Structure 1
């Protein structure tokens, strides 16, 4: 009997040890401020994770485990972690568009970096992707932001797929510090969000020092004809102004999390650069156009929100591409910054600066809708930046699902607008709101669509639409722009 009891105790101890080695399920693990996140997709970085879980409470720290497609998130208090895990039991939580799984970690606190990270995933060069770039991103801006974390040697910016950059630091330690401090932060409050990963190259090749590339170890690369600090006015002033819906502030690294929530990621404030480089060229290449939906007028309707348009020319060899000559280089920068990557009519726009200095008129041909493939707009009354006073009235906004309309007939109704949308084969808007203006000669208000793409398509078609004037011979020219409001 004693032998049987001894064998039974030994088997029970063995089973207990085996259970201890198994991964604990959610209901067996004691609650902890640290949440274990699993089944992340390969492309997820800290900013994606923060965006997905910061609604549950303030976050103290995030540790990515890229080899395992996992991560640890430390909330500032236990209650926030409990809210996260409880919510994930009932509903799907998507991280970067993919469902992830959440349970309590066996750790009560994440060990901060101090020991070595996985050598396969660290480097002295960081890959930066700037999301929601409402304002120009130059080498000066990135140097100001990154150099506070460690000496920056070289920077290269490229804009083929949005705005991205490679930043080379003097050491792996400086790059690690920059990634921990800046990943998921906003360069300007509420926009220009940094998403950071380690890059593959260990050294960048820079051939000239300008707004898109700079070698800080070789000042001799500076171009002779570069427009230096000659009093050249900055594109957006010395800091983001209030015209775009953002409060006036110096160039600030405003983290999307409350700065008090992360001692390891302090908020940094920087003085704004004294100048911005002027981008080269006044001509934009626009790719990703739907040839069955677009023409010169519609391109004008969209791009005129960011500067004067002089010429538009479709390319016969590439039906989905067009060239747009704008009034100045600043307009080119604004248009690329706000419209690159925008989806409309089932395609994604890709904008970049053309190598051509101007558009040379050539023999026009007929587009799908019967209109000409080339048109001049230099003297168009619908250009909105013809003088400083008129330019100051414009709201430079990124595309959104809410449009601000003005100069509509005073008697226009929601039903009339819906009929216009139906006649133009546009998606119906879901909200209509009018403003009480100082004048009864015209009407203004808001139109809200279900998606941003629907609103962009509506603006492209309806901007400068001629609306019937029941009290006179001349129609009203409806004018549209993207609204600063999130809802109508």
Structure 2
């Protein structure tokens, strides 16, 4: 149910952060949390009342009174795409049980959503018959009865198609570092004939989903990056010593992978791109001014920088924009600071 229905139906409207599937009064229901109100608005406007599986089975979509989901298990009944470290757990959740207690849902009553602040529903959507509703995605239009699926199944795909890249600036290494924030990148291939597109192969499908949820729509080198699942299930390397001009790289055994160790604290420190970066592994001789000068050398505007009081090897640095922070992370992660220390850079949870 989870892989073949809920995720496939909801993901075309935007990154889905969390999903819970449960049974109430003998009927399957679900709670889904998007990363922004616009995606939730579009999903409701498009899917509510649509036929699914059979001609007499219609899906009903409405806004929940819950404001966020805190999922404890990643399995067929619940999934947190931002947490790769959650255990699988087991068992069916019924609404006869207190679901808010079972999952830690924030039970705040909110008014019916009428549109995100500053959001105009017809942004990039075609209008028809006076309706501000985007066209129904193929993944929904082509749903067939169970066992007769006619739409692509990306549930186990770990390869991403990344498009709208700046061909004058993007490199396989840059994509490796950026996508490596959200999983271990095994291979990167920039298309030889269309350098605005690339394939990025993650370690598994969960990491691929996580990368899409955080990086799709992010600005990179002056362009808005688009990330989605590829039709390919692996990135092929060139054979026979053929020259690919450095556009295809294998990072399977890279020492820069952040998630090599099961249960690593890196799994708990995954955050969306922000203008504030978390810096670690800093030598004791490095000062705040040293860090400011280093990041300014990449062309960034440094607004603030401070070391943690209880750990002089860790710091936060706030740059002029999220895009600047993305560029700085690519340029300076693993930068040699001397004393056998290389800088570790990630997106921060908090601002300065």
Q: For this structure pair, what is the TM-score category when the shorter chain's length is used for normalisation? A: 0.5 to 0.7
User: Given the alignment of the two structures, is residue 464 of structure 1 paired with residue 347 of structure 2, yes or no?
Assistant: no
Say whether the 8 Å CA contact 1:136–1:337 is kept in structure 2: no
Say whether the 8 Å CA contact 2:282–2:314 is kept in structure 1: yes
User: Given the alignment of the two structures, is residue 479 of structure 1 paired with residue 320 of structure 2, yes or no?
Assistant: no
Say whether the 8 Å CA contact 2:279–2:346 is kept in structure 1: yes
**What is the CA distance between 1:405 and its match in structure 2?**
0.6
Q: 1:452: which partner in 2?
A: 322
Say whether the 8 Å CA contact 1:301–1:464 is kept in structure 2: no
CA distance in 1, matches of 2:102, 2:214: 21
Q: TM-score, normalised by structure 2?
A: 0.63
Count of aligned positions: 268
**What is the CA distance between 1:455 and its match in structure 2?**
1.4
> Structure 1 residues 128 and 465 mapped into 2: Cα distance closer, same or farther (>3 Å)?
closer
Match 2:207 to one of 301, 322, 331: 331
Q: 2:135: which partner in 1?
A: none
Q: 2:150: which partner in 1?
A: none
Q: 2:226: which partner in 1?
A: 350
Say whether the 8 Å CA contact 1:290–1:345 is kept in structure 2: yes
Match 2:17 to one of 130, 135, 140: 135
Residues 9-408 of structure 1: matches in 2 within 5 Å? Answer: 133=15, 135-136=17-18, 141=20, 165=43, 166-169=46-49, 179=62, 181-182=63-64, 186-188=67-69, 236=83, 237=86, 250=103, 252=105, 254=107, 259=109, 279-362=155-238, 363-366=242-245, 372-390=246-264, 393-408=267-282
**What is the CA distance between 1:418 and its match in structure 2?**
3.1
> Structure 1 residues 394 and 302 mapped into 2: Cα distance closer, same or farther (>3 Å)?
farther
Say whether the 8 Å CA contact 2:164–2:196 is kept in structure 1: yes
> Structure 1 residues 482 and 392 mapped into 2: Cα distance closer, same or farther (>3 Å)?
closer
- Helix, strand or coil at the partner of 1:323: strand
- Helix, strand or coil at the partner of 2:167: coil
- Helix, strand or coil at the partner of 2:103: coil
> Structure 1 residues 380 and 129 mapped into 2: Cα distance closer, same or farther (>3 Å)?
closer
Say whether the 8 Å CA contact 1:307–1:331 is kept in structure 2: yes
The answer to which structure, 1 or 2, has the higher relative contact order (CA under 8 A, 6+ apart) is 2
Q: 1:420: which partner in 2?
A: 294
Say whether the 8 Å CA contact 2:17–2:80 is kept in structure 1: no
Say whether the 8 Å CA contact 1:463–1:480 is kept in structure 2: yes
CA distance in 1, matches of 2:213, 2:175: 16
CA distance in 1, matches of 2:317, 2:173: 22
CA distance in 2, matches of 1:285, 1:405: 29
CA distance in 2, matches of 1:321, 1:480: 26
Q: Which structure carries more helix by proportion?
A: 1
Q: Structure 1: 5+ residue runs without aligned partners?
A: 1-125, 190-227, 240-247, 266-276, 367-371
- Helix, strand or coil at the partner of 2:227: strand
CA distance in 2, matches of 1:322, 1:250: 38
CA distance in 1, matches of 2:197, 2:17: 25
> Structure 1 residues 292 and 458 mapped into 2: Cα distance closer, same or farther (>3 Å)?
same
Per-residue CA distance 1:88-117 (angstroms, 9 max, x = gap): xxxxxxxxxxxxxxxxxxxxxxxxxxxxxx
Alignment RMSD (CA, Å): 4.2
Q: TM-score, normalised by structure 1?
A: 0.47
Higher Rg: 1
> Structure 1 residues 330 and 170 mapped into 2: Cα distance closer, same or farther (>3 Å)?
closer
Say whether the 8 Å CA contact 2:179–2:185 is kept in structure 1: yes
- Helix, strand or coil at the partner of 2:174: helix
CA distance in 2, matches of 1:418, 1:321: 33
